[in-house]
């Protein structure tokens, strides 16, 4: 099918100008991208930010001029009719992106990168939390296994000692009854008391702690009185919740009576409480040297309590 040129002008000149304008537009586009990237990194209100803004405005103006020039040259292109009379207009639309569209796409890409970063961070946090949960479960299981092993070892040692008339516990000192009684407010279980009880038990210390020492149907008062009377030391966890409650204060009075007859029996631990609050609660407790959870870890408190138990055994 033959094409016939209609309104043909000299195309070599037009083609050369159009090519130069398109190359110039590509250069302007590249400079615009660079300026936009630098503009993001610059500080808002600074001289650099203002200079980059002025440069971006000038590039936008140059981009518009070259785009209009390309559109004008496109209108001067020769038009063709087919010989059979079918008309086909060869007038392609300018598909070049505007400055606003380029800037909008860059913003969308930046938001997408930020979103992906947030998602990746959240995924890492979930995986870390899952690992910590598994590790915590393994540590708790280890404590329970240690507690069972210590109990079995004591039963076996006690049985063999009865048959042989000797103490074969592996140590020249043997603790009888309850080593420590933990007097505390129930609000402090999760923050310090339960961890302290588990730490002491895992080190072989016999602990009276209500969550482990009481069974369903037990008499609360009888069990507590028995634990107070048999214990070597009473660990008193002084806290703002402790000083407000009546029941812990009753346990503390029982330990006072024991200390009068048998000597040192109270090991105080301050937990989230100030010296002024302790003085207001009880002068005698304020006079005692106490461990403090703000400066002593659970492991350190456990070692110091075991040290006191060993000193007591040596004295007796």
Name the 3-class secondary structure at 235.
strand
Q: Tell me which residue of 293, 189, 186 sits closest to 246, measured CA to CA.
A: 186
Cα 133 vs. chain centroid, distance in angstroms? 12
Q: Tell me which residue of 177, 278, 203 sits closest to 236, measured CA to CA.
A: 278
Separation CA 35–CA 112 (nearest Å): 21
How many Cα atoms occupy the beta-carbon half-sphere of 163 within 13 Å?
5
Separation CA 224–CA 229 (nearest Å): 9
Determine what percent of the chain falls in helix, strand and coil, rounding each to the nearest 5. 65, 10, 25
What are the structure tokens assigned to 266, written together?
């109270």
Dihedral of CA atoms 138, 143, 145, 147 in degrees, nearest 10, equals -170
Q: Specify the residue for token string 């209108």.
A: 75
| Among 30, 127, 251, 277, the one annotated catalytic | 251
Please give the C-alpha separations between residue 162 and each of 38, 131, 157, 166, in angstroms, as whole numbers: 86, 47, 9, 7
69 as an active site residue: the answer is no
What are the structure tokens assigned to 224, written together?
């507590």
- Number of helical H runs and strand E runs in the chain: 10, 8
Catalytic center residues: 251
């Amino acid at each position: 099918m033959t094409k016939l040129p209609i309104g043909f002008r000299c195309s070599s000149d037009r083609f050369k100008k159009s090519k130069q304008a398109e190359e110039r537009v590509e250069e302007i586009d590249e400079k615009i991208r660079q300026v936009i990237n630098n503009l993001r990194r610059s500080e808002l209100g600074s001289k650099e930010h203002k200079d980059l803004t002025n440069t971006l405005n000038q590039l936008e103006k140059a981009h518009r001029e070259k785009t209009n020039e390309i559109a004008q040259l496109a209108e001067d292109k020769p038009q063709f009719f087919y010989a059979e009379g079918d008309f086909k207009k060869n007038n392609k639309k300018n598909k070049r992106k505007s400055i606003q569209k380029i800037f909008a796409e860059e913003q969308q890409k930046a938001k997408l990168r930020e979103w992906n970063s947030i998602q990746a961070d959240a995924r890492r946090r979930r995986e870390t939390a899952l690992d910590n949960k598994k590790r915590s479960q393994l540590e708790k299981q280890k404590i329970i296994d240690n507690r069972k092993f210590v109990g079995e070892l004591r039963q076996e040692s006690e049985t063999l000692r009865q048959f042989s008339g000797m103490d074969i516990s592996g140590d020249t000192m043997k603790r009888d009854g309850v080593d420590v009684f933990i007097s505390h407010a129930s609000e402090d279980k999760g923050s310090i008391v339960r961890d302290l009880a588990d730490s002491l038990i895992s080190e072989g210390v016999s602990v009276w702690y209500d969550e482990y020492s009481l069974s369903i149907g037990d008499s609360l008062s009888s069990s507590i009185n028995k634990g107070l009377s048999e214990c070597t030391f009473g660990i008193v966890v002084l806290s703002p919740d402790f000083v407000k409650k009546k029941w812990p204060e009753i346990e503390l009075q029982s330990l006072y009576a024991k200390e009068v007859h048998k000597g040192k029996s109270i090991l105080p631990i301050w937990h989230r409480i100030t010296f002024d609050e302790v003085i207001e609660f009880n002068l005698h407790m304020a006079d005692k040297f106490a461990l403090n959870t703000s400066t002593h870890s659970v492991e350190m408190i456990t070692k110091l309590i075991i040290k006191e138990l060993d000193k007591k055994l040596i004295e007796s």
